[in-house]
Amino acid sequence: MSISLVAIVALGAAAGGFVQGLSGFAFGLISLGIWAWTVEPSIAGPLVVFGSLIGQLLSFGTVRHSLDVPVVLPFVIGGVLGIPAGIMLLHRIDPVAFKLFVGLILLLWCPTMLLGRRLPQVRAGSRLADGVIGWIGGVMGGLGGLTGPAPTLWCALQGWGRDKQRAVFQTFNLSMQTITIVAYVGTGTISHDAAWLCAVVVPAMLVPTLIGARLYRRFTDAGFQRLVLMLLTLSGAVLVGSSLIQLRG
């Protein structure tokens, strides 16, 4: 294992940890922007899930006081039910085309909301609707590792305050990533090299994640909504760009 590889993994973990501490999500988006050039996909995948899980645990104290279990539970139940469906669809749907489709939706929808004077609010929210959104997140996670976009955007459209939004989608992502990492361990998906690099990820992201979580307290509700929409827009751009490269290749 080369020193340069260790340095790149540490850099990606630090950058991803800071953004996740600040926003509650997007570790994979930021870290993969750095890792994708040199880290093999078979190693990068488990590293993203592991780093995201650690980042969620480190920054969870930021919104722990806003956690409302009855509100979060439908999302989590839906997500757990959606993961197997996504895995089954993985063998029937082209995952690259799926990521391209999701990326285009994010690129069209999020900038429109970002440029608008006021974010529209969905008042049809119910426990069933929340469960359906969680199920969509689970399906997207099983199909392409994209558990976050659907619940994150749904929470933003509910008109909730920043702490409630973050408590919901961060708890959802934490639950989905825990299930995924347990499945990885149980199936032997994490290779020897990936396990060693996981030991690099933790110390590299520790301080940046805590700094990001501390800076989060300075955001207003409106400012946090803008941050979420900007990161989702960036996520869409990355998905579209990487998908087009794969399709052309």
210-230 pLDDT, tens digit per residue, is: 999 999 988 888 888 788 888
pLDDT for 134 equals 94
pLDDT for 32 equals 77
Long-range contacts of 213-221 (CB under 8 A, 24+ apart): 213/21, 213/22, 213/58, 213/59, 213/61, 213/62, 214/21, 215/21, 215/22, 216/21, 216/22, 216/23, 216/24, 216/59, 216/62, 216/166, 217/62, 219/162, 220/162, 221/161, 221/162
Residue whose token pair is 């429109």: 112
Tokens of 163: 């702490």
pLDDT for 11 equals 94
**pLDDT < 50 positions in the chain:** none
pLDDT for 200 equals 94
Distance separating alpha carbons of residues 189 and 198, to the nearest angstrom: 13
